[in-house]
């Protein structure tokens, strides 16, 4: 359902909640709002603090905690897991990017972006369970699991590549 900020305001969602829950209004993207939000979230990785995995983990956790009540409020106005809510993509993408071993590597950023999007769309268990749950926790948790899965798989790919490269 396409929605405008004015419509959300009429439905009782204040502008400040729209900006945060809608991932800086990335939720207004006409198609693939989750992908747009993930791409914007990746940009944080290229800031001076973005390669610090503790910073990314902190951002992810903060977005998750703040996102639960905000997603719940927007969901009440728009229905189950509205595409406007993209703070969940920010939280999941930041979790996918967090690595103490890979620092400011554009390949890592691109890899985690694509792998996160695959897991976010595929909804492997328990993401599929949370995706079906109403409320803010359901909206947020499926993306956190997608981010966790992406983080693990990307680390395995990077470490596997480094091992193979030594022998080839």
Backbone CA torsion sign across 39, 42, 46, 49: positive
Mean pLDDT confidence for 50-72: 96
Given a cut of 90, whether residue 65 has pLDDT beyond it is yes
Domain residues for the domain of 112 are 5-167
pLDDT, residue 104, reads: 85
109-133 pLDDT, tens digit per residue, is 999 999 999 999 999 999 899 989 9
Mean pLDDT confidence for 17-30: 95
As for how many domains the chain has, the answer is 1
Given a cut of 90, whether residue 160 has pLDDT beyond it is yes
pLDDT, residue 102, reads: 87
Alpha helices in 51-135 (DSSP H): 53-78, 87-97, 106-122, 127-131
pLDDT, residue 1, reads: 59
Mean pLDDT confidence for 149-155: 98
Contacts of 12 (CB under 8 A, 6+ apart): 77
pTM: 0.94
Q: Please check whether residue 78 is in contact with residue 134, taking contact to mean a CB–CB distance below 8 angstroms.
A: no
Given a cut of 90, whether residue 98 has pLDDT beyond it is yes
CA dist., res. 92 & res. 71, Å (int): 14
Cα first-last separation, the chain? 51
Q: Please check whether residue 87 is in contact with residue 38, taking contact to mean a CB–CB distance below 8 angstroms.
A: no
Q: How many helices (H) and strands (E) does the chain have?
A: 8, 0
Contacts of 81 (CB under 8 A, 6+ apart): 75, 131, 138, 139
Question: What token pair was written down for 15?
Answer: 């502008």
């Amino acid at each position: 359902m396409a929605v405008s900020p004015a419509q959300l305001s009429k439905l009782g969602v204040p502008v400040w909640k729209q900006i945060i829950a809608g991932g800086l209004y990335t939720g207004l993207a006409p198609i693939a709002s989750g992908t747009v939000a993930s791409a914007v979230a990746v940009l944080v990785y290229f800031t001076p603090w973005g390669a610090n995995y503790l910073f990314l983990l902190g951002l992810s956790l903060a977005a998750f905690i703040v996102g639960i009540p905000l997603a719940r409020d927007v969901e009440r106005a728009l229905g189950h897991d509205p595409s406007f809510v993209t703070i969940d993509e920010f939280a999941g993408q930041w979790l996918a990017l967090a690595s103490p071993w890979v620092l400011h590597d554009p390949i890592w950023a691109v890899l985690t972006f694509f792998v996160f999007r695959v897991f976010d769309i595929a909804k492997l268990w328990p993401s599929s369970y949370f995706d079906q749950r109403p409320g803010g926790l359901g909206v947020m948790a499926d993306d956190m699991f997608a981010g966790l899965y992406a983080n693990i798989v990307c680390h395995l790919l990077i470490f596997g590549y480094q091992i193979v490269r030594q022998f080839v």
